[in-house]
Structure 1
């Protein structure tokens, strides 16, 4: 098993991805997560109506464009191609044992880029956990998004969390004009060392949104492979 390097990545470096391919990539991830959650709900409860569709990431929503149908069709082919090449679309692990069935198990238990929501148990991308808790989770009424750091804060933690921001205002400083991105699992700022890459982004470039999305995907991958509170890392190390 191996995590393929960016130079060998099936998806290529983010600078080389077209806007359409980026949307196809994100749509494919969205569909894979919803499929595994639908399967989980069906097996556990015998009723897919109990399934709550969840988002992948609030920063990379699939836009409704004239070529939306094409994106949907191409995302299916994209996943088929990944499966044939035995590659996980989320962590980019290449494993000859990966196929449609074993990847389902990988998503459910092993992929370090995915987590089980600690409230509803649905699988979401780690980058979307805060958004999920506030917007999609069955228990979303228990959470509110912090306006300073975007983390999902439970009712009984709000005063303590606000006190943290009052005492650590330096942590809220922009990083070359971009808001700090925090991990819901460990509270660490994941983009603090990426200021130089933000400088390379051109907001006037037609590919700006695509480049930002793929850069953030790279940030999350680098972080989640080492996050101290990522239970899936602990499982892999113990095997």
Structure 2
């Protein structure tokens, strides 16, 4: 990635928070912005991304659900004279040697949990010889479909699906086989995330678990093909 550039996957729920984060990281250019799905905690901060920054390309889930937040995204993009295009399996793109591969959705699985969650775009990222899996909020029906249809990759890092909710597939955790599992979750949230059984599941697969409610900001640093996890509260 070039100086002051970043590919951004989801934007949180608060425009001021994402603007502050990107400012602290000195990010001025976003070649690709991916919104995995349209729940407010993943797209609500969108307007803050465009403050003093350029966004070249915007990719989204194929399912415009829930309608209210989907319309919010559409309105922000209209106001900025931007447009978005859908991302689905097996699309790939590469930016400055970093490879992004869409593993899901290859179809829509409806009526088995949250339709919006299960339409999340799932991305495998290969950077500096390290494989990273970004899972959106996919639930067990999709997790199990990925296990059934995609060959194992043995990821070094996984972003645990749906903020570490209790709805996880043990087969999916074993399929990912990640050294490091990251849980993006708000402190003292009303959903009880992350579930203790989900933390145990990933620890039992051999993952070292880091969670934002306890560890604060988390950065994965790759040097000489070795991974270091940096945290900051």
What is the TM-score with the length of structure 1 in the denominator?
0.30
What is the TM-score with the length of structure 2 in the denominator?
0.31
The answer to which structure has the higher helix fraction is 1
The answer to which structure has the higher strand fraction is 2
